[in-house]
Amino acid sequence: MIPIRDTIPSRSAPVVTWALIAVNATVFLCELQFAPEQLEQFFYLFGMVPARYSHPEWARSIGFPIDDYWPFLTSMFLHGGWLHLIANMWTLWLFGKAVEDRMGRMRFLLFYLLAGVAAGLTHWFTNVDSTMPAVGASGAIAGVLGAYFILYPRARIIVIHLYRFLVSEPGVRRHAERPRAGRCRRRSLVGARRRLPRRRCVVSAISAPARTCTAQIRAG
């Protein structure tokens, strides 16, 4: 599933969200100009390397600057590839604008940065001996997602299903007869949804087979 929008109307332009996306995109375009060796060095210098702070002797021997804590901030503006960037920025755009609208621009910016720093600290505490640089805005965006779910607990997210699914209640049997030549037909998700009663029920998505003979969906 790919989320495409939510149902929360914005009262003001999400300036900070736009700015954060622009900064991340600009930094990534700069990364594309580096040779592979230069990019690796760039990630080690500005990415979050836990062993850099856990083992200062090792960091000094490698050549890391001493008492430099900027990577806790700069690492959240680096990305390892197009998919990494697009997934993070799309999620930030989808949920960030509503959170910014509720918090206000400056509070949202401060919250975003603090969430990213907290994610960097958590990564350090849980991987104290790691010498691999961690980059990406995922920690900050996770904070935005948490704020969104707290501020808008009843919001609805519109998503796109990439594959065919049958919708059914958990615990309800799905009957399938043995296929007979010339009598099987394809069943679509739309058809299955039309037979659901118009009342609230818990549903789950089950991957539909390529050819299905019969299926029954009931709401208890």
147 and 183 housed in the same domain: no
Nearest to 207 by CA among 56, 23, 26, 1: 1
188 and 86 housed in the same domain: no
Q: Which residue has the higher pLDDT, 181 or 218?
A: 181
pLDDT at 135: 96
What value does the mean pLDDT take over residues 206-217?
34
127 and 98 housed in the same domain: yes
Residue 182 lies in domain: 163-220
112 and 174 housed in the same domain: no
pLDDT at 92: 96
151 and 172 housed in the same domain: no
pTM of the model: 0.71
Paired residues of 212 in beta bridges: 185
127 and 65 housed in the same domain: yes
In this prediction, residue 163 has a pLDDT band, given cuts at 50, 70 and 90, of: low
Residue-wise pLDDT tens digits, 21-50: 999 999 999 999 999 999 999 999 999 999
Cβ(131)–Cβ(51) below 8 Å: yes
140 and 35 housed in the same domain: yes
7 and 40 housed in the same domain: yes
Cβ(53)–Cβ(121) below 8 Å: no
170 and 122 housed in the same domain: no
118 and 167 housed in the same domain: no
**Domain final residue pick, 157, 189, 208:** 157
Cβ(144)–Cβ(95) below 8 Å: yes
Cβ(72)–Cβ(48) below 8 Å: yes
How many other C-beta atoms are found inside a 10 Å radius of the C-beta of residue 190? 7
Q: Domain with 58 in it: what CATH number?
A: 1.20.1540.10
Residue-wise pLDDT tens digits, 50-91: 999 999 999 998 888 878 999 999 999 999 999 999 999 999
Structural domains counted in the chain: 2
